[in-house]
Amino acid sequence: MCDIKINESRQVEDNAEEKEEEKDWVAAKADFENLQTNKPRPPKPKNAVTVAVSSRTLFKMKAERLVYETEGVESYVAYQVEHENEPLKPGPAFPFVKALMTVNSRLRELYPDGEELFDIVLMTNNHAQVGVRLINSINHYGTPAFGFIQNCADLLTILNFFFSDLTIERFCMTGGKSPIGYLKAYMTNLYLSKDAEKVTEAIDEGIAAATMFMRDTENDLCDNQLRVAFDGDAVLFSDESEIIVKQSGLDSFFEHEKKFENKPLAQGPLKCFLEALGKLQRKFYAKNERLDCPIRTFLVTARSAASSGARVLKTLRSWGLEIDEALFLAGAPKGPLLQKIKPHIYFDDEMFHIEGAKELGTISAHVPYGIGQKYHKGKLIEQPKKE
């Protein structure tokens, strides 16, 4: 009987301690959230549109990559530490990330306490020691560091980025391990990398992802509006219709699309990102800012409008999504039109279109999804024979 009373007494004490610890945690959390700072806080992941970028997409790291591949990881880390006060040059995702920050600035003007914002996460398998150079580079473009000015080109770079801070507070440095497992934990809406295998792995996990490519020539981009262009089939939509084109030809495709015009296409890997963009666009529409919205979306598809365009537009309507401009090219090259649009990023599933776009100065991202990965310029890629 005495033992029972002792056990009950201990349980009461344990419960009291747990409640006290919970109170302490709640109080500590409240104190942290009440801390005053002039820097905007990152939004809560559940409210944000989270874009994860690798270090090699945000910055040019060609020389550093060469050290890693030829001399190994120890020499690579030592090289980064030795050069950590030298800011890295902007990479293919840099203009896109800067444009996201511009949208955030507008959102904070309209909704000072709002948390429906873009949240950028630097997702890299770099060693933590390399993080110092990455942080220094981000701070360099966030707050002009005049100590880095060595010539007119450096001064021009600073002036170009002066009015739109590069702010990235969330880092994930995995020390050589794949960062893919962390994407869901960060509630990632889009993952951009230079590593096609990691991108494919992310898509297989249901996360919108693409492989970034550096454009061959520099074109001026809009500095007050984020412009995002999407291909249709195997990007926003599934590859179900593209399979028919590849296997049975255009006539069968046109017949199929006419027959199933009122049946929505299944979603593709980037549909959820378009949905996230639409959520933020509606924040501007609610403030009567539709005509001055800093987000603009484009559908750039090889489909013909009359023969197969209706199903695409009806699919978007059935999803409750809007696209600002829909361009049906009927098989014409996409590069020249994209050159006029000047998107901060263009998503396509076929490398043929990616190559044509980046040659004319478009920042392009390959979505390795669907039957298009088995073809190049319309021809089936021969697979190596199994022995």
pLDDT tens-digit map of 105-132: 999 999 998 889 999 999 988 888 898 9
Q: Are 360 and 353 in contact (CB under 8 A)?
A: no
Catalytic residues: 231
- Based on the number of CB atoms within 10 Å of its own CB, is 375 exposed (0-12), middle (13-18) or buried (19 or more)? middle
pLDDT 10s digits, 200-222: 999 999 999 999 999 888 888 99
Least confident of 44-48, 81-85, 89-93, 141-145: 141-145
- Strand locations in 165-266 (E): 170-173, 188-193, 209-213, 226-230
Task: Quickly tell me which residue has 């890629």 as its tokens.
Answer: 381
* Bridge partners, 229 (sequence order): 298, 346
Nearest-10 crossing angle of helices 62-71, 73-82: 140
Q: Are 123 and 52 in contact (CB under 8 A)?
A: yes
Give the model's pLDDT for residue 387.
43
Structure token digits, residue 111: 């909704």
What are the φ and ψ backbone dihedral angles of 165, each rounded to 5 degrees?
Answer: -60, 140
- pLDDT category, 24, cuts 50, 70, 90? low
What percent of the chain clears pLDDT 70, i.e. is strictly above it? 80
Q: Are 367 and 210 in contact (CB under 8 A)?
A: yes
pLDDT 10s digits, 250-307: 888 889 889 989 999 999 999 999 999 999 999 999 999 999 999 999 999 999 898 8
pLDDT 10s digits, 30-67: 665 666 666 666 777 788 999 999 999 999 999 999 99
Give the model's pLDDT for residue 13.
63
Distance CA(269)–CA(150), nearest Å, equals 44
Structure token digits, residue 247: 């296997």
- What b-and-e string marks burial along 283-316, b requiring 16 or more CB atoms within 10 Å of the CB? bbeeeeeeeebbbbbbbbbbbbeebbbebbeebb
Q: How many CB atoms lie within 10 A of CB 109?
A: 9
Reduce the DSSP state of residue 182 to 3 states and report it. Answer: helix
pLDDT over threshold 50, residue 145 = no
Q: Give whole-number Cα distances, 47 to 37, 50, 116, 181, 289, in Å.
A: 21, 9, 5, 21, 21
Distance CA(295)–CA(281), nearest Å, equals 6
- Strand locations in the chain (E): 49-53, 118-124, 170-173, 188-193, 209-213, 226-230, 295-301, 325-328, 345-348, 364-366, 375-376, 379-380
Q: Can you say whether the dihedral through the CA atoms of 132, 135, 137, 139 is positive or negative?
A: negative
* Bridge partners, 173 (sequence order): 124
Q: Are 372 and 354 in contact (CB under 8 A)?
A: no
- Based on the number of CB atoms within 10 Å of its own CB, is 12 exposed (0-12), middle (13-18) or buried (19 or more)? exposed
Cβ contacts of 311 within 8 Å, gap of 6 or more? 241, 257, 260, 261, 262, 263, 265
Cβ contacts of 167 within 8 Å, gap of 6 or more? 39, 40, 101, 120, 138, 142
pLDDT 10s digits, 222-248: 989 999 999 999 999 999 888 888 888
Reduce the DSSP state of residue 224 to 3 states and report it. Answer: coil
